[in-house]
């Protein structure tokens, strides 16, 4: 069956390592692109050695690598070697996208600045992901996810006033940067269909993270109000945050007046509706602690799942707080085909489970069809090809 995914026929040369770049190209692959990982001979993507299982890390298929590289191809090239540079330039001629996440200027210093890339392939879309972007006084500084979390203000507003600053519990800045880059590449491909010419995309993880922080940044920029760490509470509304049922925590976000009133009736506290301390959104925010105390006292009468079903069924956003193990096994997630089972690289007796991207196209989930490549698995496919003109 022909591949009818949106990016079918698009070829991506992926020079990236670890997470932000590989996460970007993984989503392009899910959308149908052919992704060719260009890896350093002998070592490859650093993520090949990262993960909780030392044996997999030693074998070059660490969990971090496996999670973001299914469906891709791998070719080993040393971009300082003349023969490998010729292979790389041959691949460039047929590529639609070149993706890298080196420090700013590295690719240019080894002979491939944007003007050269554009001359070799005028239709090429070149996307560079870096911590701070290709310009500015910090452009050459090294940056990992936690560094960007700190510089963006993200850590300063995570936790409570007593515990902040805290790191978000997953590499949020890497994934935000990768997703933004994938969106920009898709937009550039659409633009190229109109103009016939490629573009240079300069993606800053610092800036994409600030953009994704939403009201935490906009409240300051628009109204001069700096955000503060509030733990599990939502600064924009009350009651909105984590509450305590009989058997564990429960998130409730009764952000609208009718949701608040429904909540009060369902938990058996209708008097809260007419209490002047809780009359409207601003009043409830001012008296958040008293309101939360009253609601927690009522919610302790029943288990979290009962409240989730009762409140959600009445239009009040509410749900249990799950572990990762519980979340990926939810019937909702399973029914939509979010997790795909693949053969494990070099171990057919083991199954590899990888995530999708949460998008259905014409009712079908986007899935990888092949496992992550072993290092250099596709060398013969590309190193032996003849040089072609753009």
Question: pLDDT by residue (tens digit) across 183-194?
Answer: 999 999 999 999
The pLDDT of 92-119, averaged and rounded, is 96
The confidence band for 200, taking pLDDT boundaries of 50, 70 and 90, is very high
Q: Which domains does the chain show, CATH number per domain? A: 11-212+338-383 (3.40.50.10540), 240-244+249-320 (3.30.1540.10)
Does position 388 have pLDDT exceeding 80, yes or no? no
**Predicted pLDDT at 385:** 52
Does position 48 have pLDDT exceeding 80, yes or no? yes
Are 344 and 350 in contact by the 8 Å Cβ rule? The answer is yes
Are 173 and 149 in contact by the 8 Å Cβ rule? The answer is yes
β-strands 73-76, 318-320: how paired?
unpaired
Catalytic choice (81, 174, 280, 381): 174
Distance of CA 146 to the CA centre of its chain: 15
Does position 386 have pLDDT exceeding 70, yes or no? no
Please give the Cα distance from 366 to 69 (Å, whole number).
14
* Cβ neighbours of residue 300 closer than 8 Å, sequence gap 6 or more: 244, 245, 246
Please give the Cα distance from 130 to 144 (Å, whole number).
9
**Predicted pLDDT at 347:** 82
Please report, rounded to a whole number, the percentage of residues in the chain having pLDDT higher than 70.
Answer: 98
The pair of three-digit structure tokens given for residue 216, joined into one six-digit string: 């935490």
**Predicted pLDDT at 14:** 98
For residue 217, which of 142, 299, 152 has the smallest C-alpha distance? 152
The pLDDT of 27-36, averaged and rounded, is 98
174 labelled catalytic: yes
Question: pLDDT by residue (tens digit) across 139-196?
Answer: 999 999 999 999 999 999 999 999 999 999 999 999 999 999 999 999 999 999 999 9
Q: In Å, what is the CA distance from 315 to each residue of 132, 263, 266, 337? A: 42, 9, 11, 26
What pTM did the predictor assign? Answer: 0.92
The pair of three-digit structure tokens given for residue 386, joined into one six-digit string: 């003849």
Per-chain mean pLDDT for the chain = 95
The confidence band for 2, taking pLDDT boundaries of 50, 70 and 90, is low
Query: Is the peptide bond preceding residue 202 cis, with omega within 30 degrees of 0?
Result: no
The pLDDT of 223-230, averaged and rounded, is 94
By CB atoms closer than 10 A (0-12, 13-18, 19+), residue 46 is middle
Are 121 and 198 in contact by the 8 Å Cβ rule? The answer is yes
DSSP conformation class of 102: P
Residue labelled with tokens 């429904």: 262
Query: Is the peptide bond preceding residue 165 cis, with omega within 30 degrees of 0?
Result: yes
Phi, then psi, of 24 in degrees rounded to 5: -60, -50
Please give the Cα distance from 190 to 184 (Å, whole number).
10
């Amino acid at each position: 069956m022909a591949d009818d995914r949106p990016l079918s026929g698009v070829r991506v040369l992926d020079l990236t390592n670890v997470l932000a770049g590989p996460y970007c190209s993984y989503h392009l692959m899910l959308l149908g692109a052919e992704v060719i990982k260009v890896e350093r001979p002998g070592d490859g993507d650093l993520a090949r050695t990262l993960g909780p299982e030392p044996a997999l890390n030693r074998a070059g298929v660490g969990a971090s690598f496996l999670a973001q590289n299914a469906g891709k191809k791998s070719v080993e090239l040393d971009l300082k070697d003349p023969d490998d540079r010729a292979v790389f330039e041959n691949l460039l001629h047929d590529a639609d996208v070149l993706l890298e996440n080196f420090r700013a200027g590295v690719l240019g210093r080894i002979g491939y600045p944007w003007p050269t890339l554009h001359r070799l392939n005028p239709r090429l879309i070149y996307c560079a992901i870096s911590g701070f972007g290709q310009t500015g006084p910090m452009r050459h500084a090294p940056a990992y996810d936690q560094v960007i979390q700190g510089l963006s203000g993200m850590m300063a507003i995570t936790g409570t006033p007593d515990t902040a600053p805290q790191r978000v519990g997953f590499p949020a800045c890497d994934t935000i940067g990768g997703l933004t880059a994938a969106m920009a590449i898709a937009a550039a491909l659409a633009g190229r269909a109109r103009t016939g010419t490629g573009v240079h995309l300069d993606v800053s993880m610092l800036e994409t993270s600030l953009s994704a922080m939403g009201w935490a940044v906009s409240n300051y920029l628009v109204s001069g109000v700096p955000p503060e760490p509030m733990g599990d509470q939502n600064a924009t509304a009350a009651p909105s945050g984590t509450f305590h049922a009989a058997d564990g925590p429960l998130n409730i976000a009764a952000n609208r007046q009718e949701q608040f009133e429904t909540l009060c009736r369902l938990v058996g506290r209708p008097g809260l509706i007419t209490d002047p301390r809780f009359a409207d959104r601003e009043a409830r925010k001012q008296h958040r602690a008293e309101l939360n105390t009253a609601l927690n006292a009522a919610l302790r009468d029943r288990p979290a799942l009962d409240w989730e079903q009762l409140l959600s069924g009445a239009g009040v956003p509410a749900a249990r707080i799950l572990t990762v193990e519980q979340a990926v096994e939810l019937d909702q997630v399973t029914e939509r085909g979010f997790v795909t089972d693949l053969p494990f690289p070099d171990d057919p007796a083991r199954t590899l489970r990888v995530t999708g991207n949460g998008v259905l196209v014409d009712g079908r989930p986007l899935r990888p069809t092949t496992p992550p490549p072993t290092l250099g698995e596709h060398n013969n496919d590309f190193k032996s090809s003849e040089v072609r003109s753009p």
